[in-house]
Homo-oligomer: A and B are copies of this chain.
Amino acid sequence: MRAQLTILKVGGKIVENEGTLSALVRSFSALSGPRLLVHGGGRTATDVAARLGLQTVMVEGRRVTDADMLRVVTMVYGGLVNKQIVARLAACGVPALGLTGADMDVIRSHRRTGTAVDYGFVGDVDRVDGERLAQLLQAGVVPVMAPLTHDGAGQLLNTNADTIAAEVARALASRYEVTLIYCFEHAGVLRRPDDEASLIPDMDRAAFEALKADGTVSGGMIPKLENCFAAVQAGVARVLISRADSWDTGRGTWIHV
């Protein structure tokens, strides 16, 4: 029987707010067994960029990352946000280890090309070193992953945190029974945007296609759900989209093949 592994992805809105970060650190620390955290940090990156006189350009929810913006996200994701989470987890007795894809070459990517928009230094994942991550987990270490990867030739690349969570979950699915949880500010996928009670508790591919067609699911939720379905199809045992303050209750939208 494979051991259980929980992979939690938390967005910038959660980790950049003192109250929600504290709650998240508490609930994540209370988990037993192997676990891994993937975080964002886009709001802080946008804020720091603005204070440095750099304008943030987003195309379809993705950050255009020129050389200056890459420096900002390397500072904010790899340094500020990552190390604050690591220190907070350490204070709860969790042996957290901050990682980018460049660290021990755990996530290799290539610069995105051939798109209508030049996203700059943005990387699409080629491979995750599941063996190395499994060794860390077996040693009791808790990886805390920033949304940065590298191309193996010395270039850091900005990489979507949802994608990193899904790719890491897939890479570990043969070794662990993986539960992948995407935390955000809503209870899950909602039928009506402003009505938390309209939560859709379960969704399969057919339901997803229908919800896309009728416009219930749109915008940034589409790539998020695509990541979820890709993970489930690749052998990830369970995928949940949930609110950051209640993911540990299991309330949210469960994704099925």
Q: Report A's interface with B, CB cutoff 8 A.
A: 48, 51-53, 71, 74-80, 82-84, 86-88, 90-91, 95-100, 102-105, 135, 139, 141, 148, 150, 152-156
User: Which partner residue on chain B sits nearest A83 by CB separation?
Assistant: B78
**Copies of this chain present:** 2
What are 9 contact pairs spanning A and B, CB under 8 A?
A78-B83, A78-B98, A79-B79, A84-B156, A87-B155, A90-B102, A91-B150, A95-B104, A97-B99
Question: Whole-angstrom distance between the alpha carbons of A52 and B91 in the complex?
Answer: 29
Task: Check A74 against B83 for contact (C-beta < 8 Å).
Answer: yes
Q: Which residues of B contact A102 (CB under 8 A)?
A: 83, 86-87, 90, 96, 98
Contact of A75 among B79, B86, B90, B139 (CB under 8 A): B79
Q: Which residues of B contact A103 (CB under 8 A)?
A: 83, 86, 96-98
Q: Which residues of B contact A84 (CB under 8 A)?
A: 74, 156
Task: Check B75 against A82 for contact (C-beta < 8 Å).
Answer: no
Question: Whole-angstrom distance between the alpha carbons of A152 and B156 in the complex?
Answer: 30
Q: Which residues of B contact A97 (CB under 8 A)?
A: 99, 103-104
A79, A102, A135, A156: most-surrounded residue (chain B CB, <10 A): A79
A75 in contact with B48 given A103-B96, A103-B98, A156-B84 (CB within 8 Å):
yes
